[in-house]
Structure formats: structure tokens, C-alpha cells
Amino acid sequence: MMDVKKIHEFMELVGRLKHMKRTGWVLRKIPDPETIAGHMYRMAILSLLADSEDNLDKNKIMQMTLIHDLAECIVGDITPFCGVSPEEKHRREDAAMEEICQLLGDKGPTILQIFREYEKQESPEAQYVKDLDRLDLIMQAYEYEKRDNIPGKLEEFFSSSVELINMINEIDWKSADNIFKTFDVNKDGVLDEKEFFLLCEKFYGEEEVNKNEWRVKEIFKIFSLNDEGLKESKWKRCFTKWIQKKPVNVLIVVDVQNDFIDGNLALPNRTGYEVIKPINRLLKKVHWDQVIYSFDWHPKNHISFYDNLAERKLHPSSKITKELAKPFDTVTFLKPRLEQTLWPRHCVMNSWGAKLNSDLYISPDSIQIYKGQNPDSDAYSVFTKENVKTNSKLETILLKIKATDLYICGLATDVCVKATCLDGLSLGYNVIMIEDSCRGIDKNNTEEAKKLIIENGGLVTNSNHVFSLVNEEKRSLILDHQAAKKHFVKPSIPIDNKNALAD
């Protein structure tokens, strides 16, 4: 049974909307402007017009019209003219909805889910309600111009909404001409920044564009070569390398071996084992073009083993002497001269510790790569070369299959996963680190590793997003932003990287 006091509090909150004027009309000094509740009510009435033949959930549409602006009873009607960023607006409204839904008992989660579905704009129902929102805006602007005898004063509301409503929902993304004609709303033969934003909202989704507004602006700047717009000839070139490109997706499972889970170099609290379930899900459910497993695979006399320290001389510059050195310290060897972290003995060739954990699923037709076989050098990255004059085995495989996107998971985030990601980025691949399918040794170093990957153009995300990117062929604005910089940028175009860590 629902709490009567909480229901009363909820009703009081909702009641505020009956008296709250919509900000856009207030800013334009419209006399007696509509309230938020009035706007939502007419949208609910309009939802009755949804055709059943469109295969839309009419009940959900009506619910969404009555929920979509509910947060405004707490945060107010925030418009682009209020000086609040889209990200902050989204954060405030989502927090307000959580607060509201806590008053509604077992009904709360459903209402919150419907609100978030609308915000993400991924379902047909959410997109339909968005169009109803725009339709009501046009109608209201028309009524005010007619009532107050101010023809043309509210033209901005017509132009910004009509162009979106008239835009077809099913765009032929395979046709450069069709895309250009669809989004060249004013038919001047040029995509301006506003039209380019509309294109990106349809292509990536409104939520991702709102979160990455600076990236969209930068992509537009790159594509238009700092001109005022993107002409059709430029657009076709961009289309080929941007929208038309089909990724070749490779999953690289890094070092999910016994010694890192239960053996001599096990991660703290056996956290290494936690990656197996999400990685198995990725292996079994995602449609990969290639799966690669890497192994740390060391000879018994490997330079990284602490208990082999006596076998080699240290360089005089080494900050730590043999007598004082202990596991996990870094020393400098004389021959070969290199700095080396001293690890407990681990992943010795053909040993139990070097085997993949028995609970890890082995994908058919996968490839296995063994690294660290040279006794005189360590190999954190799966890209490590056996011979400096040739490509690494991994790079040879990727070139052969024309790989574009590398999805990297495994152990450990702050060592081998990090090194592999950074090498992949330096070679020009799109690199996606799957955060919930990785674990690190040290918490601070793990956070630094993720920060470094992002700074260098990588995407750090979760496995649910990976399903969307690969199986559903959704696109990442972050990755495409990096691709735009890689394929189109010229030295004369100033590019801003300082915003990357804010995503």
C-alpha cells in the first residue's frame, strides 16, 4: 500500500506545474503565457492521435507526455537561454526525478524508467513524444502571434521545430545525397552548424550529442575546414570516411591467466576473477570479427622475476641496489640497460600459472598471442615486437583483417591493458577499453591508466555500451571525433583536447 503522506507530497509537487509559466514565453514577454501543466496536458491529448498501424505503444506515449517535464516542478523550466549546460540540465532533472519517484512506492521505478527512456530518445515512442513536444510548441507560438497580433515575432520557434518534425524518421544513411538533402533544411546547398547538429542528433542520439556538444562543434569545424558551412562536395568526402565506414571489430582478451587470479601475482582480494563473467558474456553474445587472447609467457630466467635478480648486474645509476631491492621495486640493469619492475615469478612457460583460467570461455577460431618470451626484456603490451625490424604478431593480424576498432579487456588495467591500449592508439586504431571487464593492481594507478587512455583518444566504457556499438552497430561520437581528427585535421585548424576528460 502506498504511503498517503508521500502521495500528498507528490500531489503538491505536481500541483506546482499548474502555476509555473514556461520560461521561453516569459523571456519573450508573452502576456499570460501557458503553464508547464497546460503544455503537458495538450501533449497528452495529442497522444490520442497516434496511429495503431505505426506499431507504437500508445499507453506508453501518453504516460511519457505526462512524465517528460515532471522534473520541472523541482528544477524549473530550464532553456538554452538560462546559462545551464545540457549536461547540468540533464543531471538536475534526473536527480529531481529520482527524488519524485521515491515518493511513489513500487510505481516509482516505472515512472523513472519512462522518463529516462524519453531523455535518451532511443525508442520510437520517445521520438514520437519529442515530435509532439515540438508540434505543441509550434501551435502555441502560432496562437500567441494570432492573439497578440505580433506576426513573425516568434519565427524562431517555428523554424527550429518545423524542420525537425518534417525530417523523416527513417533516413537512408547509405546515401550521401539523401542525408545532405534531408538535413540541408533551408536548401541553400550548405550544411551550417545548426543543421549539422540536427544530423548528429539523429545519427548518435540526442543524449550523446548533449553530453558531447564541444565534440560536435569541433567535428563541424574540421569537416568545414573552418568555413561557415559544409558544402555538398566536402560532405561527400566526409561521408565516405565518417558515416559510410564499416568497422572491423576485434576483441583482445589480455592475460586472464591463473597466476593473475590465484597464483603468484594474483590481484588483491582475487579481483582478477571478477573479469571472467563479463568477458564470457562478451565472447558469447557479441558478434566479433576476430577474438584474440594474449598470454604472459616467460622463460624461467626472465629479467622481470625478482628471484632472478642475482643473475644480472645493475647499472651504477640504479636507484635501488640488489641488497635493498624487494618485489615491485624498479631497478636499472646494466645489460641490457633498462629500467625494470621486479615482479614475483609468474606465468612461466607451460606452467599452471601461465594457462588461461579454466572458467574463461575460449571462442572458436580465436587466435592466441604469447608475449614476454625474450628473457632479457619485458612485454606488457600485446603489440610488443619479437623483432624490431618487423611488425608485431598482433599488428600483422590486424592489418590482414583490416581491423579498425579494438575492444580491450582483461588484466591488469594499470599494466598490460594500459600498454596495449596506448600502443593501439599510437598505431591509429579506435581503442575501446571495456572498464567492467578489466581489473587493476593499484586503484590510483588504474584511474591514472584510464585517464591516460582517454587523453590519448581512447574510449573507456562498459560492456552494455559495447553490445550497442557492435551488435546494434550504434556509433560512438567520441570515437568518430577522434577519427575526424585523424583523417581530416590539418595543422592550421586549432583542435581542443582539454575537454576530453570531462566526458
Q: In terms of domains, do 133 and 238 share one? A: no
Q: In terms of domains, do 94 and 198 share one? A: no
Q: In terms of domains, do 156 and 178 share one? A: no
Nearest to 132 by CA among 185, 196, 67: 67
Contact 137, 126 (CB under 8 A): no
Residue 495, domain member (yes or no): no
pLDDT at position 295 over 80: yes
pLDDT at position 31 over 90: yes
Q: In terms of domains, do 151 and 55 share one? A: yes
Q: In terms of domains, do 150 and 273 share one? A: no
Q: Dihedral sign, CA of 70, 71, 76, 77?
A: negative
pLDDT at position 121 over 60: yes
Cell of 166: 518534417
Is the overall model pTM greater than 0.75, yes or no? no
Contact 272, 266 (CB under 8 A): yes
Cell of 146: 494570432
pLDDT at position 318 over 80: yes
H and E: helices and strands count for the chain: 21, 10
User: The domain spanning residue 130 has which CATH number?
Assistant: 1.10.3210.10
Q: In terms of domains, do 436 and 369 share one? A: yes
Mean pLDDT of 240-252: 86
Mean pLDDT of 393-400: 96
Cell of 224: 568545414
The number of beta carbons lying within 10 Å of the beta carbon of residue 180 is 20
| Integer-rounded Cα radius of gyration of the chain | 28
| Separation between Cα atoms, residue 347 and residue 265, nearest integer Å | 9
Q: In terms of domains, do 292 and 412 share one? A: yes
Q: In terms of domains, do 60 and 117 share one? A: yes
Q: In terms of domains, do 77 and 185 share one? A: no
Paired sense of beta strands 338-341 and 190-191, if any: unpaired
Residue 348, domain member (yes or no): no
Tens digits of residue pLDDT in 417-475: 999 999 999 998 999 999 999 999 999 999 999 999 999 989 999 999 999 899 988 88
Question: At which residue does the C-alpha cell 590481484 appear?
Answer: 267
Mean pLDDT of 320-326: 95
| pLDDT, mean over the chain | 88
Q: What's the pLDDT band for 232 if we cut at 50, 70, 90?
A: confident
Q: What's the pLDDT band for 492 if we cut at 50, 70, 90?
A: very low
Contact 254, 409 (CB under 8 A): yes
Which of 113-122, 142-151, 431-440, 471-480 is modeled with the greatest confidence? 431-440
Q: In terms of domains, do 45 and 99 share one? A: yes
Q: What's the pLDDT band for 240 if we cut at 50, 70, 90?
A: confident
Residue 485, domain member (yes or no): no
User: The domain spanning residue 405 has which CATH number?
Assistant: 3.40.50.850
Report which DSSP code applies to 409: E
Residue partners of 317: CB distance under 8 A and separation at least 6: 332
Question: At which residue does the C-alpha cell 519524485 appear?
Answer: 100
Q: What is the pLDDT of residue 383?
A: 96
Q: What's the pLDDT band for 224 if we cut at 50, 70, 90?
A: confident
Q: In terms of domains, do 62 and 101 share one? A: yes
The phi and psi torsions of 369 (rounded to 5 degrees) equal -125, 130
Contact 382, 294 (CB under 8 A): yes
Mean pLDDT of 223-237: 79
Q: In terms of domains, do 286 and 420 share one? A: yes
User: When comparing pLDDT for 226 and 352, which is higher?
Assistant: 352
Query: Which of the listed residues 108, 132, 162 is the one where a domain comes to its end?
Result: 162
| Separation between Cα atoms, residue 417 and residue 407, nearest integer Å | 11
Paired sense of beta strands 430-439 and 249-254, if any: unpaired
- Helix/strand/coil for 427: coil
Nearest to 343 by CA among 279, 421, 255, 431: 255
| Separation between Cα atoms, residue 185 and residue 164, nearest integer Å | 9
In sequence order, what are the beta bridge partners of 231?
190
Q: How many CA atoms lie within 13 A of 332 on its CB side?
A: 7
Residue 346, domain member (yes or no): no
Helix, strand, coil distribution of the chain in percent, nearest 5 = 50, 10, 40
Q: What is the pLDDT of residue 498?
A: 44
Domain count, the chain: 3
With 0-12 CB in 10 A as exposed, 13-18 as middle and 19+ as buried, what is 35? middle
| Separation between Cα atoms, residue 108 and residue 440, nearest integer Å | 37
Q: What's the pLDDT band for 52 if we cut at 50, 70, 90?
A: low
pLDDT at position 502 over 70: no
The number of beta carbons lying within 10 Å of the beta carbon of residue 437 is 29
Cell of 445: 594507478
User: The domain spanning residue 212 has which CATH number?
Assistant: 1.10.238.10
Query: Which of the listed residues 114, 133, 162 is the one where a domain comes to its end?
Result: 162
- Helix/strand/coil for 191: strand
Output the 3-class SS for 200-220: HHHHHCHHHHHHCHHHHHHHH
Residue 78, domain member (yes or no): yes
Range of the domain at 238: 172-243
Among the residue ranges 50-64, 128-142, 412-426, the one predicted with the least confidence is 50-64
Residue 382, domain member (yes or no): yes
| Separation between Cα atoms, residue 367 and residue 138, nearest integer Å | 58
User: When comparing pLDDT for 260 and 486, which is higher?
Assistant: 260
Residue 145, domain member (yes or no): yes
pLDDT at position 499 over 60: no
Q: What is the pLDDT of residue 493?
A: 39
pLDDT at position 195 over 90: no
Mean pLDDT of 470-486: 86
Q: What's the pLDDT band for 18 if we cut at 50, 70, 90?
A: very high
DSSP string, 28-79: TT-SSPPBHHHHHHHHHHHHTT--GGGT--HHHHHHHHHHTTTTHHHH----
Residue 326, domain member (yes or no): no
Q: What's the pLDDT band for 107 if we cut at 50, 70, 90?
A: very high
